[in-house]
Chains A and B, each alone.
Chain A
Amino acid sequence: MLGRTLREVSVALKRGQVTPTELCQKCLALIKKTKFLNAYITVSEEAALKQAEASEKRYKKGQSLGDLDGIPVAVKDNFSTTGIETTCASNMLKGYVPPYNATVVQKLLDQGALLMGKTNLDEFAMGSGSTDGVFGPVKNPWSYSKQYREKRKQKPRDENDSDWLITGGSSGGSAAAVSAFTCFAALGSDTGGSTRNPAAHCGLIGFKPSYGLVSRHGLIPLVNSMDVPGILTRCVDDTAIVLGVLAGHDPKDSTTVQGPVNSFLLPSLTDVSKLCIGIPKEYLVPELSPEVRSLWSKAADLFDSEGAKVKEVSLPHTCYSIVCYHVLCTSEVASNMARFDGLEYGHRCDIDISTEAMYATTRREGFNDVVRGRILSGNFFLLKENYEDYFIKAQKVRRLIANDFVNVFNSGVDVLLTPTTLREAVPYLEFIQEDNRTRSAQDDIFTQAVNMAGLPAVNIPVALSRQGLPIGLQFIGPAFCDQQLLTVAKWFEQQVQFPVIQLEELMDDCSSVLANEKLASVSLKQQ
Chain B
Amino acid sequence: MAVPTLRCGFSGSRWTFALVDRGCRHRTVATFNWIRGQSSVAQQPLHTAQKPRKGAQEWAAVVGLEIHAQISSNSKLFSGAEVRFAAPPNSLVSFFDASLPGTLPVLNRRCVEAAVMTGLALNCHINQKSLFDRKHYFYADLPAGYQITQQRLPIAVNGNLAYSICVGKQQREITKTVRVKQIQLEQDSGKSLHDDLRSQTLVDLNRAGVGLLEVVLEPDLSCGEEAATVVRELQLILQALGTSQANMAEGQLRVDANVSVHHPGEPLGVRTEVKNLNSIRFLAKAIDYEIQRQISELENGGEILNETRSFDYKLGCTVPMRDKEGKQDYRFMPEPNLPPLLLYDSTSLPAGADPQQVIDIDRIRETLPELPSETRARLVQQYGMLPEHSFTLLNEVGLLEFFQNVIKETRAEPKKVVSWVLNTFLGYLKQQNLAVSESPVPPSALAELLDLLHTRAISSAAAKQVFEELWKSPGKPPAQIVSEKQLGLLQDREALEELCRATLDGHPQVVRDVKGGNPRAINKLIGLVRKATQGRAEPALIKQILEKQLSSPAP
A396 CB to nearest chain B CB (Å):
13
| Interface 9-mer from B34-42, B272-280, B325-333 | B325-333
Q: Is the interface of A mostly helix, strand, loop or mixed?
A: loop
B296 CB to nearest chain A CB (Å):
34
Interface size classification for chain A = 35 or more
| Interface 9-mer from A133-141, A311-319, A329-337, A480-488 | A329-337
- Residues of A within 8 Å of B332, CB to CB, are 382, 384, 387
B433 within 8 A of A: no
A218-B102, A335-B333 are known contacts. Are A353 and B338 too (CB-CB below 8 A)? no
Cα–Cα, bound, A428→B69 (Å): 57
A100-B95, A339-B145, A344-B99 are known contacts. Are A379 and B331 too (CB-CB below 8 A)? yes
A92 nearest CB neighbor, chain B only: B101
- Residues of B within 8 Å of A354, CB to CB, are 4-7
Interface-centre pick from A88, A334, A335 (highest chain B CB count, 10 A) = A335
Cα–Cα, bound, A223→B336 (Å): 9
B144 within 8 A of A: yes
Interface-centre pick from B331, B338, B357 (highest chain A CB count, 10 A) = B331
B203 within 8 A of A: yes
Considering only residues 115-143 of chain B, those with a C-beta below 8 Å from chain A are: 134, 136, 138, 140, 143
CB–CB B100/A356 < 8 A:
no
B229 within 8 A of A: no
- Residues of A within 8 Å of B59, CB to CB, are none
- Kindly supply a per-residue 1/0 record for chain B positions 301-341, scoring 1 wherever the CB is within 8 Å of any chain A CB and 0 otherwise: 00000000000000000000000000001011100111100
CB–CB B140/A355 < 8 A:
yes
A102 nearest CB neighbor, chain B only: B102
B440 within 8 A of A: no
- Residues of B within 8 Å of A351, CB to CB, are 4
- Residues of A within 8 Å of B8, CB to CB, are 356
A304 CB to nearest chain B CB (Å):
40
A77 CB to nearest chain B CB (Å):
12
- Residues of B within 8 Å of A343, CB to CB, are 1, 3, 140, 143, 203
CB–CB A93/B101 < 8 A:
yes
A254-B105, A383-B329 are known contacts. Are A355 and B201 too (CB-CB below 8 A)? yes
Interface-centre pick from A96, A334, A355 (highest chain B CB count, 10 A) = A355
A354-B4, A355-B3 are known contacts. Are A331 and B333 too (CB-CB below 8 A)? yes
| Cross-interface CB contact of B333 among A86, A219, A353, A382, cutoff 8 Å | A382
A80-B101, A217-B104, A253-B104 are known contacts. Are A358 and B3 too (CB-CB below 8 A)? yes
CB–CB A355/B4 < 8 A:
yes
A216 within 8 A of B: yes
CB–CB B102/A219 < 8 A:
yes
- Residues of A within 8 Å of B5, CB to CB, are 354-355
A495 within 8 A of B: no
B97 nearest CB neighbor, chain A only: A344
- Residues of B within 8 Å of A341, CB to CB, are 138, 145
B138 nearest CB neighbor, chain A only: A359
Cα–Cα, bound, A217→B339 (Å): 15
- Residues of A within 8 Å of B386, CB to CB, are none
CB–CB B145/A252 < 8 A:
no
- Kindly supply a per-residue 1/0 record for chain A positions 245-269, scoring 1 wherever the CB is within 8 Å of any chain B CB and 0 otherwise: 0000001111100100000000000
CB–CB B357/A258 < 8 A:
yes
B23 CB to nearest chain A CB (Å):
30
CB–CB A338/B102 < 8 A:
no
- Residues of B within 8 Å of A340, CB to CB, are 101
A335-B134, A338-B144, A339-B143 are known contacts. Are A344 and B331 too (CB-CB below 8 A)? no
CB–CB A216/B104 < 8 A:
yes
- Kindly supply a per-residue 1/0 record for chain A positions 348-388, scoring 1 wherever the CB is within 8 Å of any chain B CB and 0 otherwise: 00011111111100000000000000000001001110010
A461 within 8 A of B: no
Cα–Cα, bound, A353→B106 (Å): 37
Cα–Cα, bound, A479→B283 (Å): 54
B103 within 8 A of A: yes
Cα–Cα, bound, A290→B147 (Å): 50
CB–CB A254/B138 < 8 A:
no
A218 nearest CB neighbor, chain B only: B102
A252-B104, A338-B146, A391-B333 are known contacts. Are A344 and B1 too (CB-CB below 8 A)? yes
Cα–Cα, bound, A379→B329 (Å): 10
- Residues of B within 8 Å of A219, CB to CB, are 102
CB–CB A217/B138 < 8 A:
no
Cα–Cα, bound, A208→B146 (Å): 29
CB–CB A224/B336 < 8 A:
yes
- Residues of B within 8 Å of A225, CB to CB, are 336
B98 within 8 A of A: yes
- Residues of A within 8 Å of B95, CB to CB, are 99-100
Cα–Cα, bound, A391→B331 (Å): 11
Cα–Cα, bound, A338→B336 (Å): 15
CB–CB B7/A100 < 8 A:
no
A427 within 8 A of B: no
CB–CB A80/B102 < 8 A:
yes
Cα–Cα, bound, A338→B146 (Å): 7
CB–CB B331/A334 < 8 A:
yes
- Kindly supply a per-residue 1/0 record for chain B positions 135-173, scoring 1 wherever the CB is within 8 Å of any chain A CB and 0 otherwise: 010101001111000000000000000000000000000
CB–CB B100/A344 < 8 A:
yes
Cα–Cα, bound, A87→B331 (Å): 27
CB–CB B357/A254 < 8 A:
no
B377 within 8 A of A: no
- Residues of A within 8 Å of B336, CB to CB, are 223-225, 255, 332
- Residues of A within 8 Å of B146, CB to CB, are 335, 338
A335-B136, A338-B146, A339-B145 are known contacts. Are A254 and B101 too (CB-CB below 8 A)? no
A98 within 8 A of B: yes
Supply 12 A–B pairs (Cβ within 8 Å), ascending by A.
A80-B100, A102-B102, A218-B102, A252-B104, A252-B106, A254-B104, A254-B105, A255-B339, A334-B331, A335-B136, A339-B101, A383-B329
19 more contacts with CB within 8 A, not counting A225-B336, A355-B3, are: A80-B101, A96-B101, A100-B95, A224-B336, A254-B106, A335-B136, A337-B145, A338-B144, A339-B99, A339-B145, A340-B101, A344-B98, A344-B99, A345-B100, A354-B5, A354-B6, A355-B7, A359-B138, A387-B331
- B→A interface (CB under 8 Å): 1, 3-8, 95, 98-107, 134, 136, 138, 140, 143-146, 199, 201, 203, 329, 331-333, 336-339, 357
Closest 10 CB pairs of A and B: A338-B145, A382-B331, A224-B336, A225-B336, A354-B7, A220-B101, A352-B4, A218-B102, A339-B99, A80-B102
